Structure 1
Amino acid sequence: MSLAIVRWESFVPVLIYVLIFLWAGPLVATPGEARADEQLANLQSDAAYPVTKVLVLKSERRLLLLNGEFVQRSFEVELGRNPVGAKQHQGDGRTPEGDYIIDWRKRDSQYYRALHISYPSGRDVEKARSLGRPAGGMIMIHGQPSQYNVQYLKIDDDWTQGCIAVSNAAMDELWSVVADGTPIEIRP
């Protein structure tokens, strides 16, 4: 009988740790939740600010909203499924690189809202033509697929056909502060 008491007493500290973990586990944010919380805080802290340029840094998976040389906001992005290198032609799964314009927007998309990028440029068309292929088009900044109707859900990894994807919360902010005609630079 004393053996059973000793065994029980040796499990008490373990039991306490398990109970603390079960109680505190929901209080610890996953990396995805932390990113969503950061984006929500950005959205709530300053809803209106002038955006003079959108800058996408593909290698860093970041979209920056600039006012002159000053970064106003920064968002995590996903890119085309083949993210290294500039888009060469339609269907290559790459995100373009270069200087474009946000030229129109689409509210009713298969993704949560979309801002159209003026790809292809004349240079892009010539490059694709030299490869015997069409340049493609319909490159956009958009939210998550519409069937995922959760405000802060964000698919991880590069998954688009060449577009730039952000969380739906980030898309709400971009929609409200990026005007049609805003320049966008997409860097490697």
Structure 2
Amino acid sequence: MSRRAAIAGGALALGAMPAAAARAAVPRAPVPVDLVVVVKQRRLLQLIYRDRVMRTYRVALGSNPVGHKRDRGDGRTPEGLYRIDYKKPESKFNLALHIDYPNERDRVHAMRRGADPGGEIYIHGHPRAASELAYFRLKFAREDWTDGCIALPDLQMAEIYRSVLEGTPILIRP
């Protein structure tokens, strides 16, 4: 191969890199989903369809991730079977799916203890506002940074948001 051909080939490869990078920055097409599974110990979220794992993502959890969420402000991510009850396209985070925590069982347990079980638990992307982003950067120095939610990068959140329908069950395992 001549030097000129090698240089031309290298230039072609470099010219293709921005296009490849641009393709990588586009969410993949939605997949059918009939169950979302989160495995807290492994920091994984899986999209399941007909008992088959369609996609797997790494996630961040609440800042105090071990154990089931019991009280408002405890920094824990709930464990158990819930539902995605609504989608929130506009929030302080980039896209969000609301988890119907607390369920009846959680409310009864909290009431017996005279406690507030908390709420507003979402699967969400990263913060939108610059002030929130600065806070996020400080917290993100750790693996788990949310107040009990399940978080992942915006591009992955866009894929999940497009795939998961309201009413989809979510199983959050320890």
* TM-score, length of structure 1 as denominator length: 0.72
Identical residues among aligned pairs (%): 47
Report the counterpart of residue 182 of structure 1 in structure 2. 168
SS of 2:167's partner is coil
Distance 1:41 1:159 in 2: 24
Larger radius of gyration: 1
Q: Which residue identity does 1:187 align to in structure 2?
A: R
Report the counterpart of residue 90 of structure 2 in structure 1. 108
Report the counterpart of residue 13 of structure 2 in structure 1. none
Q: Please provide the CA RMSD for this pair.
A: 2.2
- Answering whether residue 140 of structure 2 is matched by residue 158 of structure 1, we say no
Report the counterpart of residue 117 of structure 2 in structure 1. 135
Larger RCO, structures 1/2 (Cα 8 Å, 6+ apart) = 2
Report the counterpart of residue 80 of structure 2 in structure 1. 98
Distance 1:83 1:49 in 2: 28
Question: Residues 42 and 73 of structure 1 are in contact (CA less than 8 Å); yes or no, is this contact kept in structure 2?
Answer: no
Q: Which residue identity does 1:73 align to in structure 2?
A: R
Q: Describe the shift of the 1:48–1:112 C-alpha distance in structure 2 as closer, same or farther (beyond 3 A).
A: closer
The C-alpha deviation readout for 1:93-118, integer Å capped at 9, x for no partner, is 10000000001011111111110001
Q: Which residue identity does 2:145 align to in structure 1?
A: W
Deviation (angstroms), 1:41:
8.5
Distance 1:42 1:84 in 2: 33
Distance 1:63 1:130 in 2: 32
SS of 2:85's partner is strand
Aligned equivalent of 2:106, options 124, 144, 158? 124
SS of 2:30's partner is coil
Structure 2, unpaired ranges of 5+: 1-20
Distance 1:43 1:60 in 2: 23
Report the counterpart of residue 167 of structure 1 in structure 2. 153
